[in-house]
Each structure stands twice: as structure tokens, then as C-alpha cells.
DNA sequence: CTTTTGGGCGCG
DNA sequence: AAAGCGCGCCCAAAAG
């Protein structure tokens, strides 16, 4: 097996050069193992090259892009990959998140070879038009530095012991290709019905609110009447002023700030307005624009290393933040609907972050609960309220749930009070909140010790490694407030990142089993994987996904089980 | 005029 | 005494 250095240029004459469904490959450049460059102009098929591409390790930058084109146009399935952009992120400990922030080819060529790459030719390629001299030079330049970069990165990987993480990230790339080509199915008719109803409702609320709020303004300050009359409800500044004029003691218009007026009719109306405004502007309005003209589906861009923890991020549109909570959320998720004769299989890990905390901290009470199938929130409730397990009330359990999750993130009493108010609609004093935290710490001393230890270690070293070997860099704090942030990050990142490693490991094996069967991989949301498959496949797909997710969990968690819950439905459902 | 920043809020 | 972690998107306001 040898290294093959690869890059492609795509036809950008319609400005669609990034779209594998609407653009052709204009050139394919290879650097053969013997160092010889080779340019294939306007490939019609790659039958001769296919075995070579599939049997060697393909090296390049942001290879998901190239591989998508080669798979879609030529049926070439590249699975052995070394992507220098992804490698750089692994080496940087997740510092280089977001696009073109020091991880592009240009950046890496400069960093490792000291050369300046001229990218001005990048967007000028066209299928069927011969290369100019300058274009030819450009495409060779794009591959000629790859061997040097690879070599230096490999040395660093070895020196830092990041081989396993590199391996995991590289073997995730075929799944990202699978994901982006698959796309999410959308029921546009259902979306339009929701849009009509919500737009109507929002406009009614807007009119009422403007009337009530401008009224207060004219009483208060006569000369400002015109501006207040046309209050923009989306302007936090104007809205704060208007509410202050009405006598509300607020400094911000966030829902937390407004939560102390939860019983006030005007505030209720305002919160409903804000919710609808958010839903309409962020989700409803733009979604139809993302329907792909060729596939009729939604094809977001996924970044497998989009976060410091190694989680995926997603954009245009972000399918990781679609409303899901409550009745409204359930209704919204139903717009993501499988084709006729197909089902959507969604699998998510049950309370995986708390399980990871239990494992890492060797917290025997967590281990006992998860091993024996005791509900951890109920267990915590019984401990902090000092009642037997079976006597825990609904309210007590929901308080305990907030405490369990919050402590994982290093929450303080004020934060706990706020979260209880927001999530559980439970009002507690600061003293009570403080007591809950103490009770938690007393009930779970090992978890408490672990979190204290790791936060100190994080602050001291400004870098951590998770159980899967992933490097987690923390930024140097400039003041005490930032020190606090670093300590909280240090508590959370080893847990969050291990979840990312587990899901990536599962994904690699799921790809091998399900992609060849024509199953589509349509979304991933941190601890959840979503697929679309033929109805008759749904049972087998569910089993395979559950099996691989739990197997991946047991690779890293030894003392307690990881459980994946699978649902099969006509649409993307959360159970 | 365009770009950047910050508040706010959707998800895990 | 003490701002709960990780993201992307929309909008308004400020900055260039």
C-alpha cells in the first residue's frame, strides 16, 4: 500500500463548483508514489484508475470534497485516507475549528514548507476547456507540497502519540461523504402549512405588542413618540427601553431576564412572539431555499471536527439545532419525512455524558445505577431529598435531573436556580439551590473529586487527553473569570469529546455494514445518528446501528454499559 | 456601502 | 464571591 497524493478541480463556470450534483470534474491531479505528477483532464470514467485509488492511501486536503465528486460521478469509493487538514486539527488539539482558520492548504503549505501558494486560479476551471499554462502550474502546485506536509505531520503524530485519534478521524471521512451525499428528505407541504399558521399568529402578536408598548412610551416621553410608535420588537435595545418605560425592572430581554415576569400577560405575549420570530426566521423561512434542485433534499455541510471536543458541527442549514422540544418541536420534526416505502431510523445514546462521568470518576453509585438499570435522576432525587427511591415525586426527579446535568458542566447555585426556573418551572431559593449542590457532592464523592481534580489539571496544563487519546487544548486565561471558564471546560471537554470518539468509532463500522446496502445516512446530532432506509430494511438497520453504537461504547467504557435507543418512524422522531 | 460584533436562542 | 459546556443562525447596531 502506498500514498497517492490527490486533488481535483471542478467546473465553476456556473458558480456551482462546490456542488457534486451540478458540477463536473475538470481535472484530477495525482502525484504518484514515485513523485511523478499526472493530470487527467475532463475524466469521463475512472475505471482504470478506480482500483488504484481504492487500494492505496489517498492524501490530500479537505478530501471529503474530492471524494464526494469521485463517488458520485465515477463510483469510486475511496476509504483509505490521510487528510492533512483534519490531521492538523487533531494535532492542534481542536484549536483550529471553523473553516479556513489556519488549516487550509495555503496555510499548511506556508507553515510546513514556507511557500506562498497562489490561489487566484482556483475558481476558473471549466469542463471541456483545455488548461492554460498558469492553470497547469496551479494544479501541480496544489499537490506538490503534500508529501512534505504529510511527512512532517506524521512525525508530529508519532511524537505526540496521536496515532489512534488520527486513525479514527480519517476513518470517519467516508461517513461524512455518505452523509453529505445522502441529504435529508423534507416534506415541503407540511412546512408551508406550519409557516402559514405561524406567520399569521406572529403578525397578530406583533400588532398587539406594538400597540401596548408604544402606549407606555407616549406617556413617558412625549417627544420620542414617533420612534417608540414604530418600535422594532427585534431590537433588544428598543425593547428594553419600552419595557422599562412600562415599569418592568429588567436589564435585558432574554427569556431568563423575563422569567421573573412569567405570570404577566404582556410578557407571556412577548415570549410567544419571540419564540415564533425565532422559529420563522431561523428555521421556517430559509429551509425551502436549501432544497437541492437535483435531489430535492437538504444537503448541509458537516464539519467532522467542527468543535474543540471533536464533535461534528453542521451548517447551511444546521440540522443539529432543529426544534425538537415540546409539542411544537414534535410537529416540526415531522417535516423531515422519509420517502414512500422508506423509514427513518434514529438512534441515540441514553444519558451518555453521565455514563462517561460515572466511568471516568469511578463513581460507584453511578456505576451501580447504570448497571442495575436504576434511573439515575431518581437515585439523585432520593439522595438529595432523603426519601426512598420509590417515593420520589415528579418534581423531585426533575430537580435532580437538572442537578445531574448541571454539575457535569460545573454549574453554580445561581445557574441551578435559573435552570430550574426555565426548564422545570420550579422556583427555589439560592440557599436551596446551594444545598442541592452540596447534597449532590456528598452523595457522589468520587464524581465530585474527579471533577475537581480534572479542572485543576486542566488549568495547570492547559491541555488534557481524553480516554481515547484525543488532545484537548485549553486557551490561556487572561483573568480570574477566564480561569473559571477554563476550569469548567476542563470538567466537560473530556466527557463531551469521548462521546464524539465513541460515535465516530460506531460510525466507521456502520458505514461498512450499511452503506453498501443502499441505506442513507441523513444526520448526526452529537449522540444521535439518523438513517433512511427501505421499510423492509428498517428492522435490520435498527439492530445493526444499536449493536455498533453499543459496541463502540464498550470499547471505551468498561464499568458500565452504553445503551443506544432506536426508533423507527415515517419521520425524524424523538422518543 | 460591507463587515464585524453582540444579544438572543435553537440543539446536544 | 463565583456567568454551566459545545456549536450555528438571525437580527440590530457598531465599526470600517
Identify the band that residue A98 occupies on the pLDDT scale cut at 50, 70 and 90: low
- pLDDT tens digits along A510-566: 999 999 999 999 999 999 999 999 999 999 999 999 999 999 999 999 999 999 999
pLDDT for the residue numbered A363: 96
Average pLDDT over every residue of A483-496: 92
pLDDT for the residue numbered A222: 40
Nucleotides of C under 7 A from a protein CB: 1-13
Average pLDDT over every residue of A163-189: 96
pLDDT for the residue numbered A290: 93
Q: Identify, with chain letter, the residue nearest to nucleotide C11 (CA–C1').
A: A234
Query: How much is the mean pLDDT over chain A?
Result: 92
pLDDT for the residue numbered A355: 95
pLDDT of A140 strictly over 80:
yes
Strand B footprint, Cβ within 7 Å? A 236, 240, 252-257, 274-275, 278-279, 282, 318, 320-325, 329, 348, 496, 525-528, 574
Report CA(A485)–C1'(C8) in Å, whole number. Answer: 21
Cell of A238: 428598543
Angle (deg, nearest 10), helices A173-182 and A63-74: 60
Average pLDDT over every residue of A174-188: 96
Q: Identify, with chain letter, the residue nearest to nucleotide B8 (CA–C1').
A: A254
Nucleotides of B under 7 A from a protein CB: 7-12
Residue A323's nearest nucleotide, by CA–C1', is B10
> Scanning the structure block, which residue is given the C-alpha cell 399568529?
A201
Choice between A135 and A255, residue whose per-residue pLDDT is larger: A135
Please list, in sequence order, all residues whose beta carbon lies within 8 angstroms of the beta carbon of residue A79, skipping any fewer than 6 positions away: A54, A171, A174
- pLDDT tens digits along A318-345: 999 899 988 999 999 999 999 999 999 9
Average pLDDT over every residue of A488-506: 95
Distance between CA atoms of residues A11 and A22, nearest Å: 9
pLDDT for the residue numbered A33: 81
Query: Which domains are seen in chain A, by residue range?
Result: 3-170 (3.30.420.10), 188-287 (no CATH), 300-352+501-569 (3.30.70.370), 353-468+476-484 (1.10.150.20)
pLDDT for the residue numbered A228: 43
- pLDDT tens digits along A245-261: 899 988 889 888 888 88
Q: Which residues pair with A343 in a beta bridge?
A: A533
pLDDT for the residue numbered A479: 85
Output the CA torsion A444→A449→A450→A451 (10° steps).
90
* DSSP class of A359: H
pLDDT for the residue numbered A262: 84
Identify the band that residue A217 occupies on the pLDDT scale cut at 50, 70 and 90: very low
Distance between CA atoms of residues A149 and A395, nearest Å: 57
pLDDT of A425 strictly over 90:
no
Choice between A505 and A422, residue whose per-residue pLDDT is larger: A505
Average pLDDT over every residue of A499-504: 96
Report CA(A38)–C1'(C5) in Å, whole number. Answer: 48
Average pLDDT over every residue of A58-67: 96
Cell of A401: 435531573
Report CA(A236)–C1'(C13) in Å, whole number. Answer: 10
Report CA(A408)–C1'(C5) in Å, whole number. Answer: 8
Identify the band that residue A101 occupies on the pLDDT scale cut at 50, 70 and 90: low
Q: Identify, with chain letter, the residue nearest to nucleotide B7 (CA–C1').
A: A236
Identify the band that residue A383 occupies on the pLDDT scale cut at 50, 70 and 90: very high
Q: Which helix (H) or strand (E) holds A468?
A: none
- pLDDT tens digits along A363-380: 999 999 999 999 999 999
Q: Where are the beta strands (DSSP E) in A250-406?
A: 301-303, 313-315, 342-349
The strands making up A520-524's β-sheet, listed across from edge to edge, are A520-524, A528-534, A342-349, A564-569
pLDDT of A215 strictly over 60:
no
Of the listed ranges A213-227, A258-272, A422-436, A553-567, the least confidently predicted one is A213-227
User: Which residue, among A114, A107, A134, A113, has the nearest Cα to A122 in the 3D structure?
Assistant: A134
Residues A26-47: b if buried by 16+ CB within 10 A, e if exposed: bbbbbbeeeeeeeeebebeebe
Average pLDDT over every residue of A265-287: 92
Pairing between strand A57-60 and A81-83?
parallel
pLDDT of A100 strictly over 90:
no
With residues binned 3-state (H G I as helix, E B as strand, rest as coil), the percentages for chain A, rounded to 5, are 55, 10, 30
Report CA(A230)–C1'(B2) in Å, whole number. Answer: 26
Cell of A100: 479556513
Residue A405's nearest nucleotide, by CA–C1', is C4
Identify the band that residue A223 occupies on the pLDDT scale cut at 50, 70 and 90: very low
Residue A301's nearest nucleotide, by CA–C1', is C8
pLDDT for the residue numbered A226: 44
Amino acid at each position: 500500500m502506498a500514498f497517492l497524493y490527490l486533488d481535483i478541480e471542478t467546473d465553476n463556470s456556473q458558480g456551482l463548483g462546490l456542488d457534486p450534483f451540478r458540477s463536473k470534474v475538470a481535472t484530477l491531479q495525482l502525484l504518484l508514489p514515485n513523485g511523478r505528477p499526472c493530470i487527467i483532464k475532463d475524466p469521463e470514467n475512472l475505471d482504470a484508475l478506480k482500483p488504484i485509488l481504492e487500494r492505496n492511501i489517498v492524501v490530500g486536503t479537505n478530501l471529503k470534497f474530492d471524494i464526494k465528486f469521485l463517488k458520485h460521478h465515477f463510483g469510486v469509493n475511496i476509504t483509505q485516507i490521510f487528510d492533512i487538514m483534519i490531521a492538523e486539527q487533531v494535532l492542534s488539539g481542536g484549536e483550529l475549528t471553523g473553516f479556513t482558520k489556519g488549516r487550509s492548504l495555503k496555510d499548511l503549505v506556508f507553515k510546513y514548507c514556507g511557500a506562498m501558494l497562489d490561489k487566484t486560479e482556483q475558481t476558473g476551471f471549466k469542463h471541456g476547456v483545455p488548461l492554460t499554462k498558469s492553470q497547469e502550474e496551479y494544479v501541480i502546485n496544489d499537490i506538490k507540497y503534500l508529501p512534505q506536509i504529510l511527512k512532517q505531520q506524521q512525525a508530529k503524530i508519532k511524537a505526540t502519540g496521536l496515532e489512534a485519534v488520527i486513525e479514527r478521524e480519517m476513518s470517519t471521512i467516508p461517513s461524512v461523504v455518505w452523509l453529505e451525499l445522502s441529504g435529508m428528505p423534507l416534506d415541503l407541504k407540511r412546512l408551508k402549512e406550519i409557516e402559514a399558521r405561524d406567520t399569521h399568529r406572529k403578525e397578530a402578536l406583533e400588532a398587539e405588542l406594538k400597540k401596548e408598548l408604544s402606549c407606555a412610551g407616549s406617556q413617558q416621553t412625549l417627544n420620542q413618540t414617533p420612534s417608540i410608535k414604530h418600535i422594532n420588537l427585534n431590537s433588544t435595545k428598543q425593547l428594553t427601553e419600552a419595557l422599562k418605560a412600562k415599569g418592568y425592572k429588567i436589564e435585558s430581554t432574554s427569556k431568563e431576564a423575563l422569567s421573573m415576569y412569567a405570570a404577566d400577560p404582556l410578557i407571556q405575549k412577548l415570549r410567544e412572539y419571540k419564540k415564533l420570530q425565532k422559529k420563522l426566521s431561523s428555521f421556517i423561512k430559509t429551509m425551502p431555499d436549501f432544497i437541492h434542485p437535483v435531489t430535492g433534499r437538504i444537503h448541509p455541510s458537516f464539519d467532522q471536527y467542527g468543535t474543540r471536543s471533536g464533535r461534528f458541527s453542521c451548517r447551511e442549514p444546521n440540522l443539529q439545532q432543529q426544534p425538537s422540544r415540546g409539542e411544537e418541536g414534535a410537529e416540526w420534526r415531522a417535516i423531515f419525512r422519509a420517502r414512500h416505502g422508506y423509514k427513518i431510523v434514529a438512534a441515540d445514546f441514553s444519558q451518555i455524558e453521565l455514563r462517561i462521568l460515572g466511568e471516568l470518576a469511578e463513581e460507584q453509585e453511578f456505576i451501580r445505577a447504570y448497571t442495575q438499570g436504576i434511573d439515575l435522576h431518581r437515585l439523585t432525587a432520593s439522595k438529595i431529598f432523603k426519601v426512598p427511591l420509590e417515593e420520589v415525586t415528579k418534581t423531585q426527579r426533575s430537580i435532580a435531573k437538572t442537578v445531574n446535568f448541571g454539575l457535569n458542566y460545573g454549574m453554580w447555585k445561581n445557574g441551578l436556580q435559573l435552570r430550574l426556573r426555565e426548564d422545570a418551572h420550579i422556583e427555589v431559593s439560592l440557599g436551596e439551590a446551594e444545598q442541592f449542590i452540596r447534597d449532590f457532592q456528598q452523595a457522589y464523592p468520587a464524581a465530585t473529586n474527579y471533577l475537581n481534580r480534572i479542572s485543576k489539571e486542566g488549568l495547570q496544563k492547559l491541555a488534557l487527553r481524553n480516554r481515547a487519546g484525543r488532545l484537548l487544548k485549553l486557551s490561556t486565561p487572561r483573568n480570574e473569570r477566564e480561569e473559571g471558564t477554563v476550569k469548567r471546560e476542563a470538567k466537560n471537554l473530556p466527557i463531551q469529546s469521548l462521546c464524539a470518539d465513541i460515535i465516530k468509532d460506531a460510525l466507521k463500522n456502520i458505514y461498512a455494514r450499511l452503506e453498501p446496502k443502499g441505506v442513507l445516512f441523513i444526520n448526526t446530532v452529537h449522540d444521535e445518528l439518523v438513517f433512511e432506509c427501505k421499510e423492509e430494511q428498517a428492522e435490520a438497520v435498527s439492530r445493526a446501528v444499536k449493536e455498533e453504537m453499543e459496541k463502540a461504547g464498550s470499547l471505551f467504557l468498561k464499568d458500565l454499559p452504553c445503551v443506544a435507543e432506536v426508533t423507527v418512524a415515517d419521520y425524524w422522531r424523538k422518543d
